[in-house]
Amino acid sequence: MAYTHEDCLRARQDFPALRRAPHLAYLDGPAGSQVPRAVVEAIADVYASCNVNTRGNFAPSREVDRRLDAARGAVAAFLGAESGACISFGQNMTTLNFALSAAIGRTLHKGDEVLITQLDHEANRGPWIGLEERGVVVREVRVLESGELDYADMAARISPRTKLFALGASANSLGTVNDLALARRLTHEVGALLVIDAVHYAPHFPIDVQALGADFLLCSAYKFYGPHGGVLYSRPGALDRLPTDRLSTQDPEAPFRIETGTLNHAAIHGVRAAIEYLASWGRGASLRERLIDAFSGISEYEHGLARYYHEAVERIRGIRVWGPGFATRVRAPTVSVTLANCGAAEAATRLGEHGICVWDGNFYAARAVEVLGVAERGGLLRTGISMYSSREEIDRLLEGLGEIAANRVNIAMRG
């Protein structure tokens, strides 16, 4: 379904934070999005109606069980998973990935290899690098200056010793969308697991874990208009065999096998509300169909706005745009720049003083920022387009950047 500028203006009315402070341009979506009222209400409703623990033999407990099951079902529809039994919840993506890497690490032997990339967020590098303590060899796929992975290097580094490839679907630093089909083909050839970090991808594109052939995929609801909370998809059978950290009293079946302690029931119910909110922008008989339809419009809208920004910001003298272009490739609506006369932190601070919320630094994609050679200048200035981002906000950003870039006095870099 088409998603137009008018739809964006309508959507903005659904977000309490945007109504409350219309002068703030939230272009910080890659670090976390705002939430629609339906999500706020869903979270509050858990506290108001079934704020009890799970698996009890009384009505409010049965209700919270029902809501958790429904949330797993909604996330399964969101990811194209086989069923809700493939969906585990956790505090955030990083915590889930540490739990996953610890469990998988116990199945690996000295000399086994794990492949990561230079482009990924540390949350999909650090947990795997930690396995070096067990004698696992961790290799890295190179990132090119274009912001894309070096696919020849990827192919060269995968060998029969490779047991796992941890790869991002999209880069939160540059908006690059990686070739997941190639990664799956190469890992299949050697029988390696594929772990996909879809945190930056999930707010912008529909996901089909079965088509991707992912063994594990992680994302974070607070990036797609939901509350803070992480999601792990495990291919049927993949989690049941893993020696996860868990209590003897804990349910050993998937999806519970990796879920330690009491979950954040209210937030999980809010995740379902966020997915249903997204689906409300599409048509179709099932939740999945509505989501796919909604994403077709939202993705195109976001892409168009990001492309508009990309083309305009590239024309500003003294600004360098990083990451892949918009001409041919699929890419996320996230655009990062550096300014010749001003560090990223200073530029973000000045824009922030005018109500423009953009991030500066490395956004935990520290390796990519280091390899691109921009770390010592304070990293990148990143703009993220969300479903509620408007053309007016981008024009304000462009105007602000134009003024900063035209400033003849060299501005001292902070931080």
Instruction: Name the site residues for ligand PLP (rule: CB under 6 A).
Output: 30-31, 92-94, 121, 123-124, 168, 172, 197, 199-200, 220, 230, 364
Is 65 or 370 the residue whose CB approaches ligand PLP more closely? 370
Residue 94 Cβ vs ligand PLP, minimum distance, rounded to whole Å: 3
Residue 95 Cβ vs ligand PLP, minimum distance, rounded to whole Å: 7
Residue 16 Cβ vs ligand PLP, minimum distance, rounded to whole Å: 22
Place of tokens 């010793």: 161
Count, residues in the chain: 415
Across-strand partners of 319?
339
3-state helix, strand, coil in the chain (%, to 5): 45, 15, 40
Is 206 or 230 the residue whose CB approaches ligand PLP more closely? 230
Residue 333 Cβ vs ligand PLP, minimum distance, rounded to whole Å: 14
Cβ 5 vs Cβ 387: under 8 Å: no
Amino acid letter at 180? L
Is 230 or 379 the residue whose CB approaches ligand PLP more closely? 230
Is 91 or 296 the residue whose CB approaches ligand PLP more closely? 91
**DSSP SS3 for 10:** helix
Residue 286 Cβ vs ligand PLP, minimum distance, rounded to whole Å: 27
Is 50 or 79 the residue whose CB approaches ligand PLP more closely? 79
What is the C-alpha separation between 229 and 85, in angstroms, rounded?
18
Rg over alpha carbons for the chain, rounded to the nearest Å, is: 21
Is 183 or 404 the residue whose CB approaches ligand PLP more closely? 183
Cβ 333 vs Cβ 200: under 8 Å: no
Cβ 245 vs Cβ 99: under 8 Å: yes
Is 199 or 405 the residue whose CB approaches ligand PLP more closely? 199
38, HSE (Cβ side, Cα atoms, 13 Å): 16
Per the structure block, which two tokens stand in for 171?
């880069």
Is 124 or 234 the residue whose CB approaches ligand PLP more closely? 124
162-168/113-117 β-pairing:
parallel
Residue 111 Cβ vs ligand PLP, minimum distance, rounded to whole Å: 28
Residue 98 Cβ vs ligand PLP, minimum distance, rounded to whole Å: 9
Is 92 or 390 the residue whose CB approaches ligand PLP more closely? 92
Sign of CA dihedral 138, 144, 148, 154: negative
Give one DSSP letter per residue of 96-163, joined into a string: HHHHHHHHHHTT--TT-EEEEESSS-GGGTHHHHGGGGGT-EEEEE-B-TTSSB-HHHHHHH--TTEE
Residues 6+ apart with CB under 8 A from 99: 90, 244, 245, 258, 260
Residue 298 Cβ vs ligand PLP, minimum distance, rounded to whole Å: 19
Is 381 or 404 the residue whose CB approaches ligand PLP more closely? 381
Residue 5 Cβ vs ligand PLP, minimum distance, rounded to whole Å: 27
Residue 52 Cβ vs ligand PLP, minimum distance, rounded to whole Å: 27
Residue 96 Cβ vs ligand PLP, minimum distance, rounded to whole Å: 8
What is the C-alpha separation between 192 and 4, in angstroms, rounded?
42
Is 80 or 168 the residue whose CB approaches ligand PLP more closely? 168
* Cα→Cα distances 390→23, 31, 87, 219, Å: 12, 18, 33, 25
**DSSP SS3 for 82:** coil
Q: From the centroid of its chain, how far is CA 149?
A: 18
